[in-house]
Amino acid sequence: MTDAFPRMTGTPFTPDWFDTISVNTPAAERRASSLAGRRTVKKDWQAAWLARAITCIDLTTLAGDDTAGRVQRLCAKARNPVRADLLSALGLEGLTVGAVCVYPTMVPHAAKALEGSGIPVASVATGFPAGLTPLPLRLAEIRYAVEQGAAEIDIVITRELALTGQWQALYDEIRQMREACGDAHMKAILATGDLKTLTNVYKASMVAMQAGADFIKTSTGKEEVNATLPVSLTMVRALRDFRDLTGQWVGFKPAGGLKTAKDAMNWLILMKEELGTRWCMPDLFRIGASSMLGDIERQLEHHVTGRYSAANRHALA
């Protein structure tokens, strides 16, 4: 990842920044429900937004039956996410996804397949998805993934610490994870579907950023409820507050349940409306997805040809 800003350093633990915060859930839900209707993006502009969304995708496979072959096919798609004839018709070239995200043992296969492409390998770690293995093992898993070639690490927090208000302990744990990442950028997965309230989501977001997370991420994709617009709205407002307090820019990654081109548009609109154009770039915004890419490519083909193709013409890998 190319840094447009100085690397996140985090801050000392400062509970005063979030202790008294209480998120108005009905208001957040009303605001989130209005977002899709606030902007109408059509024709060439829509195609441009969808092309931008592709550059922000963390193309992901996190299945129990992952193999080297599957990861290699995913990386081939990451290098060439849209058919060459469509790119030519759109006047685009060199389009790639933001990263490829895999389990730690798949990192060497991804790193080899992406060599020379400039596409970073992201790895989940820290006992993903539950995060309930002993801390020394979680830290060792981070170091293993980095040694194997991961440039980005998606860690999971201990939900119990957030649910019981042990914010200092959560800060200390994430801080150790950040140190274990070394030069690799760290995305802190909050597993927001497990945190129960938007107030907890805001507080966990602020603690993760204070501890040095380069990105905050909604979900593992394995919870009952994953990325939603009200949760994302709460998190991006925490990002804005943290930037205003510290001058540090932190990225945002929704993940889990985002499958369509319309989802991509909705989350880009959220970023544009709440944070501005700069936060719609891949160094500050990522989308954790797999099947979404096929639907975006299908929409781009419709833009070029005026016809919808069968979904199986745009296989993921």
Task: Measure Cα distances from 231 to 18, 136, 193, 216, 296 in Å.
Answer: 16, 30, 9, 12, 24
Beta bridge partners of 154: 124, 187
**Cα separations in angstroms, 185 against 100, 178, 201, 212:** 14, 8, 21, 10
Distance CA 276, CA 286 (A): 15
Give the distance, in angstroms, between the CA of residue 102 and the centroid of all CA atoms in the same chain.
Answer: 13
- Cα 78 from Cα 98, distance rounded (Å): 8
**203, 217, 272, 283: the active-site residue:** 217
Catalytic one among 253, 263, 283, 295?
253
Strand order in the sheet with 152-156: 251-253, 215-217, 185-189, 152-156, 121-124, 99-102, 57-60, 287-289
253 has catalytic annotation: yes
Beta bridge partners of 189: 156, 217
217 tagged catalytic: yes
DSSP secondary structure string for all residues of 128-166: TTT--S-HHHHHHHHHHHHHHT-SEEEEE--HHHHHTT-
143: tokens are: 């170091």
Which position among 154, 214, 263, 283 bears the catalytic label?
154
Q: What SS3 class is residue 230?
A: helix
DSSP 279: G
Residues with catalytic roles? 154, 217, 253
